[in-house]
Structure 1
């Protein structure tokens, strides 16, 4: 194999090193400025479980798993990422070999590296061209183009293109017999074939410095632009929360030194919550998948993070001491910025109350930005400190405080549904395997009582040992916690936990995903540690073991609606579908948005108890189900069942399309 003939006729390397040091200093200064802004936030530990964190970094960062959720932009980003990484690493090794005399770039290794560099570089150029075409020709609504977007793309493009031109000049000037191993450079060389050697030398020398300035300028520009996500987004994937997705942070309501509850000002956030603002790339995936934004509400998850970033850069630099004044503002104006409350100033209260907490924004975000803890923290401050919330919520709070359920029905009637069903309470017999958590909808809502009755009949048919709490059960607290009333939530949860622990409860069956999530992921924060199973999981097991056998066919075209709190929050997708596949005669047609991308019904996050303005979220979901041409929608959640049925009634399609809980469908087959 031949050795490489090095073509490198550049003098003045001391200027190159000086320029590198200057650019590095500019980079460090910029990054340190961002670091000081992050440090305004409170401490938060995000370095535990290093193995899981490194796995997330590899899988989601280097592997682009979540980015590839959208095929075209995801694939192009993958090509750009790895193309630029390989191109930069290869260029570094070539520079070591050519400039500093390391003689390891010879023979087969050199040829292989040259080919790899060219292929990766060409793919990266292709990706940039596609991004420019998409951003400035197709112009998706979710992309709000700013000058830095074009600057970043052109900077990367010019670095790559000038690198290929330099390679082409080298090939043209040296007559490299191994040019086939450099396809990008060979194409350039074919254009330069008629240019004399002296002219090529002049062009090479000038272009080399231009290429160097671009490359070093990229380093210097990075922390001052959107390009900072190259460093921050992978770090954000590493720092991603490892707690259960359905668990909110617990507020210490007995902390006598606490001056405020929830998130009132910027400094109430943690460093990680501020770090999120630089990880956000404004790609708009969160916005596209937000049911509130989709139906014309004033909430955009993307703008939510970007508004926080803007406020951080205004107020944060004052707090961090990185600048004393903002523009020509007076010290009085500076003080006003420092004292600004987030809710009502940085974010409109209406936007905060628009969220259904469906979690779709976080599940779609490639950079693992965490929206919900911030939003619910702001709600907590409004409720607990300002008593500011939609007026209809006051009725909900009173009903829960007085009667332990959202409807305000008398607590003594909570177990009336059980009459004639031979169901025993734990007070009568606590020697059972499972507690069946009925939930408020199952106990008081006439439509959802039928779901409870179906679950009970199936459990009895399978000879499952279970009991209920009856009148001792109170609301689990899901809605009030996500509305922001942490105090009322903890009070109700503590009462429920005390009762269950007194009976020695170990296992719980819940048919409501909201109850399921709260009991499974949040009660442990207050001493309630239970094995909680959703009824779809239990039914799948009972069918598999033969404890339940389906004999009567149900000849119907159906579609299945993944509820947010069972699906995105708890990743239960296969069990319900396994149950449906066991139903004889049933045909299942999936809606376009299903599983992790399932569209919300609109009732989560306490929205079940609030008035809805603008387009109705449940109507959008019902339309998607109707479009499949089915006559049955299968649900797993009381909220979803209610919202979908209401929408179908409003559309006068309730006679054509029925909504059933999965337990009702199974019971129909026995």
Structure 2
């Protein structure tokens, strides 16, 4: 009986899965075109899955091992089941391998069930709660029907008039498993992530994120530029169909594990943003309908005028943020994001949440002019004065009137161009800049500044969605830099560091850029700086998002502190899991209210570490953390700590290098 039923069940499930796959692909293809290589993507898929994806999944060893046993067992069992029970190739070797694969899957499903007994709040429930049972049904059913093929049960046990009931029960169990594993994989069940996730890895929007050789994944964090000259291209994303098709595919790959939710600073602060819910909102919009079936944590906005689950709805060609009536997302959800990339860093499916949020902001800013609170004022200032504060551009160097800073306009050629950033207009950050100048002079670095020729890097404009103002600022800065010759740019602002090094390239500006902590570490290693021993109290270090998660620099700042004789007391959330200060993405400008402030939470992390001083490496972080009332720790930039510890080297020290080695590379020729 089973010999007849099993092939019917298996190939019916496969046929339905193929139909579902075609339907699913049509949903994705509603998005705009995106150039990908079909062949290269599919060839790269195994490595991206086994190396890059598991590099993230492996941070939780229990879940990683569970995933290997369950997913690996399922893939092997599915292929072998088709051969053994679908095509009737029932030899003992294939049968034995099928038993091992289904047993591995069953063991993995036990751990999935254990996790779902009392799931953490970040995990979505609903249909996901049935997944352990479906995994067990498939693996156990396949295991039992395979036993006779290897001689562990008599061949006739499931045949004859007396065994039809047992055969039907086993067929029912297998059908249950097949329905979830095959049918649900392409029609929208919990296993959908396996189908969409695999193709998302193959056709990822940022292929450069994936490793091509031993040593781990690559890094791709710069925002993609809009083609402002293409009148047919949308200015940002108004509706789900405005995303590229592989962005829609990426949203559909979400496994609703809630890792993004657990690390999102805006969610923790009670602002109306949950990255997991936002991605599921996009899936709802792609397919059409409402979010009534969503069974995870909502956007934490009910107490702040937001809509509860079940009241968001949309369609592929309808607006994501509506001016009135039902919409997929409330505007405040998009403006709550600090663009810290904690969600992207933690996502096991490698979804690009920040790209999607900025794409939607671009529409609100460029098409609707709907930038909240002080957003419009800041953008107007950038257009009128080239800085977000609206200060007189001619006053950019007022803080350094007594320092006689060398100007690029006078020297034309130097080793280091010191990029001041808009912290030059902030009295607190001017102390950091003065300290950095002192350090550079102590090391006899050949440097100069642009002075009044320097403009805002465009970071704030771009994160607020004003791509036009960003590109205008960037192109004018690139034209200015093209007049001079230098080897590298050094800056104490990670936001300028990131934009200059990673986002100007698309517009023709290719530079070697150093964060000041990296440069100071290099100067110390070269013997050009000498420090007195640290005499202060305990110190912790706060990782800036745009230096750490965006650019992978975690060690240099710590190496500088170590060189000062400081033993860093690490906070629980540090390195790639550092909590954002709340100052990125224009968040202080849009100022969306929550239940608490993000910098308050970060300074509480500092307090829990027991440190008396928190070292920082970013003007935004300094401003946000120093703004915390009743803070338990002092906030100092690394440059300030280094400047205070400098020991003057004896004249004629052998470590002295020539003050000005020849700079032979133009700004246009230096490539990151």
- Do residues 427 (structure 1) and 409 (structure 2) align? yes
User: Is the contact made by 1:462 and 1:542 (CA closer than 8 Å) also made in structure 2?
Assistant: yes
- Who is 2:492 aligned against? 511
Change (3 A) 1:543 1:174: same
Change (3 A) 1:52 1:133: closer
- Who is 1:320 aligned against? none
- Who is 1:248 aligned against? 223
| 2: CA distance, partners of 1:635 / 1:380 | 31
Q: Once the 2 structures are TM-superposed, how far is the Cα of residue 24 of structure 1 from its aligned partner? A: 2.1
- Who is 1:271 aligned against? 245
For 2:262, which of 281, 288, 302 is the aligned residue? Answer: 288
- Do residues 213 (structure 1) and 183 (structure 2) align? no
| 2: CA distance, partners of 1:81 / 1:275 | 20
User: Is the contact made by 2:618 and 2:637 (CA closer than 8 Å) also made in structure 1?
Assistant: yes
Change (3 A) 1:338 1:23: closer
Partner SS state of residue 509, structure 1: strand
Which blocks of at least 5 consecutive residues in structure 1 are unaligned?
Answer: 1-9, 177-194, 317-334
- Who is 2:301 aligned against? none
- Do residues 43 (structure 1) and 33 (structure 2) align? yes
Q: Once the 2 structures are TM-superposed, how far is the Cα of residue 611 of structure 1 from its aligned partner? A: 2.6
Q: Deviations over 1:364-390 (max 9, x none)?
A: 111111111211111111111111111
| 2: CA distance, partners of 1:238 / 1:338 | 24
| 2: CA distance, partners of 1:494 / 1:219 | 51
Segment of structure 1 superposing worse, 557-566 or 410-419: 410-419
- Do residues 28 (structure 1) and 18 (structure 2) align? yes
For 2:51, which of 44, 56, 59 is the aligned residue? Answer: 59
- The TM-score with structure 2 as length reference comes to 0.83
User: Is the contact made by 2:239 and 2:317 (CA closer than 8 Å) also made in structure 1?
Assistant: yes
Q: Deviations over 1:57-102 (max 9, x none)?
A: 33134xx2211223333332232222333444555565599x336x
Segment of structure 1 superposing worse, 224-233 or 557-566: 224-233
Change (3 A) 1:175 1:265: closer
Q: Once the 2 structures are TM-superposed, how far is the Cα of residue 209 of structure 1 from its aligned partner? A: 3.1
Change (3 A) 1:420 1:336: closer
Change (3 A) 1:30 1:117: closer
Partner SS state of residue 502, structure 1: coil
- Who is 1:230 aligned against? 194
For 1:152, which of 125, 131, 134 is the aligned residue? Answer: 131
Change (3 A) 1:396 1:370: same
| 1: CA distance, partners of 2:381 / 2:89 | 77
User: Is the contact made by 1:246 and 1:565 (CA closer than 8 Å) also made in structure 2?
Assistant: no
Partner SS state of residue 283, structure 2: helix
Change (3 A) 1:339 1:155: closer
- 1:509-548 aligned within 5 A: 509-548=490-529
User: Is the contact made by 2:284 and 2:315 (CA closer than 8 Å) also made in structure 1?
Assistant: no
Q: Once the 2 structures are TM-superposed, how far is the Cα of residue 153 of structure 1 from its aligned partner? A: 2.5
| 2: CA distance, partners of 1:520 / 1:76 | 39
| 1: CA distance, partners of 2:358 / 2:153 | 65
Q: Once the 2 structures are TM-superposed, how far is the Cα of residue 658 of structure 1 from its aligned partner? A: 1.2
- Who is 2:442 aligned against? 461
Change (3 A) 1:338 1:665: closer
For 2:278, which of 282, 292, 304 is the aligned residue? Answer: 304
- Do residues 669 (structure 1) and 645 (structure 2) align? yes
Q: Deviations over 1:543-565 (max 9, x none)?
A: 11111122333343111111111
Q: Once the 2 structures are TM-superposed, how far is the Cα of residue 470 of structure 1 from its aligned partner? A: 0.4
Q: Deviations over 1:453-495 (max 9, x none)?
A: 1111111111211110001111101011100111111111111
Partner SS state of residue 514, structure 2: strand
| 2: CA distance, partners of 1:552 / 1:201 | 84
- Who is 1:179 aligned against? none
- The TM-score with structure 1 as length reference comes to 0.84
Q: Deviations over 1:276-334 (max 9, x none)?
A: 22201111111111111111111111111111111211179xxxxxxxxxxxxxxxxxx
- Do residues 140 (structure 1) and 120 (structure 2) align? yes
| 2: CA distance, partners of 1:12 / 1:436 | 76
- Do residues 490 (structure 1) and 482 (structure 2) align? no
Change (3 A) 1:662 1:21: same
User: Is the contact made by 2:417 and 2:490 (CA closer than 8 Å) also made in structure 1?
Assistant: yes
Q: Once the 2 structures are TM-superposed, how far is the Cα of residue 511 of structure 1 from its aligned partner? A: 1.1
User: Is the contact made by 2:342 and 2:549 (CA closer than 8 Å) also made in structure 1?
Assistant: yes
For 1:610, which of 571, 585, 590 is the aligned residue? Answer: 590
- Who is 2:547 aligned against? 566
User: Is the contact made by 1:437 and 1:468 (CA closer than 8 Å) also made in structure 2?
Assistant: yes
Q: Once the 2 structures are TM-superposed, how far is the Cα of residue 363 of structure 1 from its aligned partner? A: 1.1
- Who is 2:331 aligned against? 349
- Do residues 600 (structure 1) and 543 (structure 2) align? no
Taking only aligned residues, the RMSD between alpha carbons, in angstroms, comes to: 2.9
Q: Once the 2 structures are TM-superposed, how far is the Cα of residue 38 of structure 1 from its aligned partner? A: 0.6
Q: Once the 2 structures are TM-superposed, how far is the Cα of residue 214 of structure 1 from its aligned partner? A: 3.9
User: Is the contact made by 2:241 and 2:316 (CA closer than 8 Å) also made in structure 1?
Assistant: no
Q: Once the 2 structures are TM-superposed, how far is the Cα of residue 161 of structure 1 from its aligned partner? A: 2.0
Partner SS state of residue 634, structure 1: strand
Q: Once the 2 structures are TM-superposed, how far is the Cα of residue 404 of structure 1 from its aligned partner? A: 1.6
Change (3 A) 1:385 1:605: same
The number of equivalent residue pairs is 603
Q: Once the 2 structures are TM-superposed, how far is the Cα of residue 53 of structure 1 from its aligned partner? A: 6.2
Partner SS state of residue 411, structure 2: coil
Partner SS state of residue 547, structure 2: coil
User: Is the contact made by 2:286 and 2:315 (CA closer than 8 Å) also made in structure 1?
Assistant: no
| 2: CA distance, partners of 1:11 / 1:117 | 17
Q: Once the 2 structures are TM-superposed, how far is the Cα of residue 167 of structure 1 from its aligned partner? A: 5.7
Q: Once the 2 structures are TM-superposed, how far is the Cα of residue 200 of structure 1 from its aligned partner? A: 9.1
| 2: CA distance, partners of 1:662 / 1:66 | 30
Change (3 A) 1:469 1:208: same
- Do residues 438 (structure 1) and 416 (structure 2) align? no
Q: Which has the higher helix share?
A: 1
Q: Deviations over 1:22-46 (max 9, x none)?
A: 2222111111111111111111123
Q: Once the 2 structures are TM-superposed, how far is the Cα of residue 340 of structure 1 from its aligned partner? A: 2.3
Asked which structure has the greater CA Rg, the reply is 1
Partner SS state of residue 543, structure 2: coil
